[in-house]
């Protein structure tokens, strides 16, 4: 059976030392999150993930969700009680507005503990994850009445939320949706249509479910300009806040999926369901994007989280499993064989995973801090810079962290040899669960297109220029630091590849957009490697400073070596990405469709 230990020490290092979160105490909510409070939250969240959620992970996978003939859906044993505890513990609303019962703490704290929960039980984490997406959309675009009606109960965990976008014939291309909204004349609408792949669409965990649904109001323009967002509660809410009649929405079936069996993925049938407009008519996509950006960051964390728990178990196995002898001489003469951690190829695999995990975690903290600034700062320039960062890096995080997170789950499974393929060891579940993160919330190919087609050229490339400038400045400022040289050399070279790639896109993709499309995935991964390399350089600098200051904690030395591994073994990939991008679209587009 797999195990899990929340990486509290690493998060603390990032919050306290690398990103010095105390510097942000001018932002609302931040001064409440003192060092002691942060420690307490991380420690309690770690315990909750380890003791309550992790034990339900494999049983939830085995049992899965069941739809009954009457449309009810039963979640795996223990999920309902765990969600009650989760809600009562205040975890759902940790970073949510205090006026609706949230604790108003930094999103950075919430995202950090989110990693713990996902590592422990990804299927479970989706129940509150989707809820928070719905809270975010309502909070930005809902009316005061809508906010008051729905948000508080969602934050206590009594109600949950969902996102309803996809239909059988359209996922990526939402302009094609057919679900209809007909005005009832009383301000409400009658919603009819079928939505698929609705995570947590129906469940027995909460007493109500707040569905956010995109639909087309009768007579609306075709395409994405005719999409509106509606709130459609499963159970209608009376004026006094009590639950009323059942609405016309039901679960038609649940999907049989590769993984995340503990989360119910539903076909939802809306049959003259009563819904209320959220935000403006025909501006539904904008409102939806609020949910989607939050959700994309959350999905990126899923990639990291599965990679982390897979790593922990692979490392433990490698220290325990005796097989073969070290190439450089017997290491455990008292045992029939050496533990496989002595083998360089096993270490290479483990370090590949770990060097990603720690950079990805830094990237998540850094980006969520920017999200906090974007949402909470009173300084317009700070907000704009943070917004630029978020816009540029959200697709990179979503695409890269989930692609590599999945690959790492596979690599960790490989460390187990044949046992990795056997269900009871739990490693194959991490692989199956991690797989979905590459697909939902915009498949990773769409993230790459979003990056090269929209985020990169936006505002004349302002966000990318700011990022390149920051990394260059860091390299320059620290150029004389001998201890940093082995890190800054490779980073600067890879930044050069990224800048060349960016230049190539500017020169070749305007006239021929296919050149952008054909290079988009390579560009996204090139970007991801550079930004993770930058995270490593910053972490190493801080680790060096702490060591120089007399801190003898072993993890600091480990940081230096793991970071070096990243530079030596992972950054070489940037030149391959550049070469592939520069190959352009000609060959890719040459075959007629029927030759495939």
Residues 510-529 that bind a copy of itself (CB under 8 A): 512-514, 516-518, 520-521
- The answer to the question of residue 590 lying near a copy of itself (CB under 8 A) is yes
Among the listed residues 295, 449, 535, 540, the single contact to a copy of itself using CB under 8 A: 449
Least distance between a copy of itself and beta carbon 296 (Å): 15
Cβ of 245: how many Cβ atoms within 10 Å? 9
**Toward a copy of itself, which CB reaches closer, 141 or 435?**
435
**Toward a copy of itself, which CB reaches closer, 219 or 554?**
554
**Toward a copy of itself, which CB reaches closer, 154 or 518?**
518
Give the burial string for 308-345 (b: 16+ CB within 10 Å, else e). bbbbbbbbebbeebeeebbeeeeeeeeeeebbbbbbee
Residues paired with residue 162 on neighbouring β-strands, in sequence order: 211
**Toward a copy of itself, which CB reaches closer, 86 or 416?**
416
**Toward a copy of itself, which CB reaches closer, 187 or 418?**
418
- The answer to the question of residue 443 lying near a copy of itself (CB under 8 A) is yes
Least distance between a copy of itself and beta carbon 384 (Å): 29
Span of 105-113, 125-133, 442-450, 536-544 interacting with a copy of itself by CB under 8 A:
442-450
Least distance between a copy of itself and beta carbon 353 (Å): 10
Binding residues for a copy of itself restricted to 102-141, rule: CB under 8 A = none
d(CA 429, CA 426): 5
Least distance between a copy of itself and beta carbon 108 (Å): 27
3-class secondary structure, 103: coil
Pairing of strands 265-278, 228-233: antiparallel
* 392 within 8 A of 464, measured Cβ to Cβ: yes
Binding residues for a copy of itself restricted to 182-211, rule: CB under 8 A = 196-197
Span of 46-54, 91-99, 439-447, 459-467 interacting with a copy of itself by CB under 8 A:
439-447
Structural Rg of the chain based on CA atoms: 24
Within 8 A by CB and 6+ apart from 288, the residues are 137, 163, 165, 212, 214, 227, 229
- The answer to the question of residue 595 lying near a copy of itself (CB under 8 A) is yes
Residue position matching structure tokens 């005719």: 226
Known catalytic residues? 441
- Reduce the secondary structure of 139-181 to three states and give it as a string: HHHCCHHHHHHHHHHHHHCCEEEEEECCECCECCCHHHCCCEE
d(CA 480, CA 488): 10
Q: Binding string, 402-431, against a copy of itself, x = CB under 8 A? A: ----x---x--xx--xx-xxxxx---x--x
Binding residues for a copy of itself restricted to 342-371, rule: CB under 8 A = 342-351, 354
Least distance between a copy of itself and beta carbon 570 (Å): 8
Least distance between a copy of itself and beta carbon 497 (Å): 11
Least distance between a copy of itself and beta carbon 137 (Å): 21
Give the burial string for 67-97 (b: 16+ CB within 10 Å, else e). beeeeebbbbebbbebbeebbeebbbbbbbb
- Contacts with a copy of itself: how many residues (CB under 8 A)? 96
DSSP state of 190: E
* 460 within 8 A of 537, measured Cβ to Cβ: no
Q: Binding string, 300-329, against a copy of itself, x = CB under 8 A? A: ---------------x--xx--xxx--xx-
HSE-up of 492 (CA within 13 Å, CB side)? 14
CA proximity to 563, closest of 473, 475, 488: 488
Span of 124-132, 154-162, 182-190, 582-590 interacting with a copy of itself by CB under 8 A:
582-590
Least distance between a copy of itself and beta carbon 315 (Å): 4
Binding residues for a copy of itself restricted to 44-103, rule: CB under 8 A = none
Least distance between a copy of itself and beta carbon 311 (Å): 9
Give the burial string for 248-276 (b: 16+ CB within 10 Å, else e). bbbbbebeebebbbbbbbbbbbbeebbbb
Span of 11-19, 78-86, 143-151, 509-517 interacting with a copy of itself by CB under 8 A:
509-517
3-class secondary structure, 339: strand
Span of 105-113, 125-133, 167-175, 271-279 interacting with a copy of itself by CB under 8 A:
167-175
What are the angstrom distances between the C-alpha of 12 and each of 16, 113, 303, 422?
Answer: 6, 11, 20, 35
Among the listed residues 339, 395, 399, 405, the single contact to a copy of itself using CB under 8 A: 339
3-class secondary structure, 212: strand
3-class secondary structure, 65: coil
Among the listed residues 1, 176, 473, 503, the single contact to a copy of itself using CB under 8 A: 176
Q: Binding string, 223-262, against a copy of itself, x = CB under 8 A? A: --------------------------------xxxxx---
DSSP 542-591: HHHHHHHTT---HHHHHHHHHHHHIIIIITTHHHHHHHHHHT-SHHHHHS
Binding residues for a copy of itself restricted to 465-484, rule: CB under 8 A = none
Among the listed residues 144, 186, 334, 594, the single contact to a copy of itself using CB under 8 A: 594
Least distance between a copy of itself and beta carbon 326 (Å): 8
Least distance between a copy of itself and beta carbon 394 (Å): 18
Span of 49-57, 89-97, 117-125, 574-582 interacting with a copy of itself by CB under 8 A:
574-582
Among the listed residues 195, 211, 370, 435, the single contact to a copy of itself using CB under 8 A: 435
**Toward a copy of itself, which CB reaches closer, 99 or 424?**
424
Binding residues for a copy of itself restricted to 271-300, rule: CB under 8 A = none
Q: CA 452 from chain center: how many Å?
A: 20
Region label for 59, one of left (φ > 0), alpha (ψ between -120 and 50) or beta (otherwise): alpha
- The answer to the question of residue 341 lying near a copy of itself (CB under 8 A) is yes
Element (H, E) at 123: helix 122-141
Q: Binding string, 16-35, against a copy of itself, x = CB under 8 A? A: --------------------
d(CA 259, CA 432): 5
**Toward a copy of itself, which CB reaches closer, 390 or 397?**
397
DSSP state of 509: T
């Amino acid at each position: 059976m797999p195990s899990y230990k929340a990486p509290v020490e690493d998060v603390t290092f990032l919050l306290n030392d690398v990103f010095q979160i105390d510097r942000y105490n001018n932002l609302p909510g931040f001064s409440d999150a003192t060092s002691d409070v942060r420690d307490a939250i991380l420690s309690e969240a770690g315990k909750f993930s380890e003791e309550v959620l992790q034990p339900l992970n494999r049983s939830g996978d085995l049992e899965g969700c069941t739809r009954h003939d009457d449309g009810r859906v039963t979640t795996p044993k223990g999920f309902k009680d765990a969600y009650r505890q989760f809600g009562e513990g205040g975890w759902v609303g940790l970073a949510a507005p205090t006026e609706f019962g949230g604790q108003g703490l930094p999103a950075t704290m919430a995202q950090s503990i989110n990693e713990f929960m996902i590592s422990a039980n990804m299927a479970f984490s989706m129940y509150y994850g989707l809820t928070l997406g719905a809270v975010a959309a309502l909070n930005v675009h809902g009316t005061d009445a809508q906010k008051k009606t729905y948000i508080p109960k969602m934050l206590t965990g009594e109600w949950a939320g969902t996102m309803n976008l996809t239909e059988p014939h359209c996922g990526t291309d939402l302009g094609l949706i057919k679900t209809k909204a007909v005005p009832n004349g009383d301000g409400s609408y009658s919603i009819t249509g079928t939505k698929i792949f609705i995570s947590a669409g129906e469940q027995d965990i909460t007493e109500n479910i707040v569905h956010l649904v995109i639909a087309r109001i009768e007579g609306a323009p075709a395409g994405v300009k005719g999409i509106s967002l509606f709130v459609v509660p499963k159970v209608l809410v009376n004026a006094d806040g009590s639950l009323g009649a059942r609405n016309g929405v039901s679960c038609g079936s649940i999907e049989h999926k590769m993984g995340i069996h503990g989360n119910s993925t539903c076909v939802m049938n809306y049959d003259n369901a009563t819904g209320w407009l959220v935000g403006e008519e025909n501006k539904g996509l904008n409102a939806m994007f609020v949910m989607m950006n939050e959700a994309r960051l959350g999905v990126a964390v899923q990639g990291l989280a599965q990679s982390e728990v897979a790593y922990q178990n692979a490392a433990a196995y490698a220290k325990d499993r005796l097989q073969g002898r070290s190439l450089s001489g017997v290491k455990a003469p008292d045992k029939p064989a050496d533990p496989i951690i002595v083998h360089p190829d096993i270490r290479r695999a483990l370090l590949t995973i770990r060097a990603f995990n720690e950079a990805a975690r830094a990237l998540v903290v850094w980006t969520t801090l920017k999200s906090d600034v974007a949402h909470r700062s009173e300084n317009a320039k700070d907000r704009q810079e943070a917004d630029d960062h978020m816009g540029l890096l959200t697709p990179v995080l979503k695409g890269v962290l989930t692609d590599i997170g999945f690959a790492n789950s596979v690599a960790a499974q490989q460390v187990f040899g044949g046992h990795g393929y056997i269900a009871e060891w739990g490693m194959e579940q991490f692989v199956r669960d991690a797989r979905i993160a590459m697909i939902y919330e915009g498949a990773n190919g769409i993230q790459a297109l979003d990056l090269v087609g929209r985020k990169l050229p936006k505002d004349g490339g302002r966000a990318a220029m700011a990022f390149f400038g920051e990394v260059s400045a860091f390299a320059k400022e620290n150029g004389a630091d001998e201890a940093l040289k082995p890190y800054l050399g490779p980073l600067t070279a890879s930044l050069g590849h990224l800048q060349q790639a960016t230049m190539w896109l500017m020169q070749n993709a305007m006239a021929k957009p296919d050149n952008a499309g054909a290079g988009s995935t390579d560009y996204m991964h090139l970007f991801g490697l550079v930004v993770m390399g930058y995270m490593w350089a910053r972490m190493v600098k801080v680790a060096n400073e702490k060591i120089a200051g007399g801190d003898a904690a072993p993890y600091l030395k480990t940081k230096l070596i793991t970071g070096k591994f990243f530079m030596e073994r992972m950054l070489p990939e940037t030149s391959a990405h550049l070469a592939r991008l520069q190959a352009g679209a000609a060959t890719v587009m040459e075959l007629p469709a029927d030759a495939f």
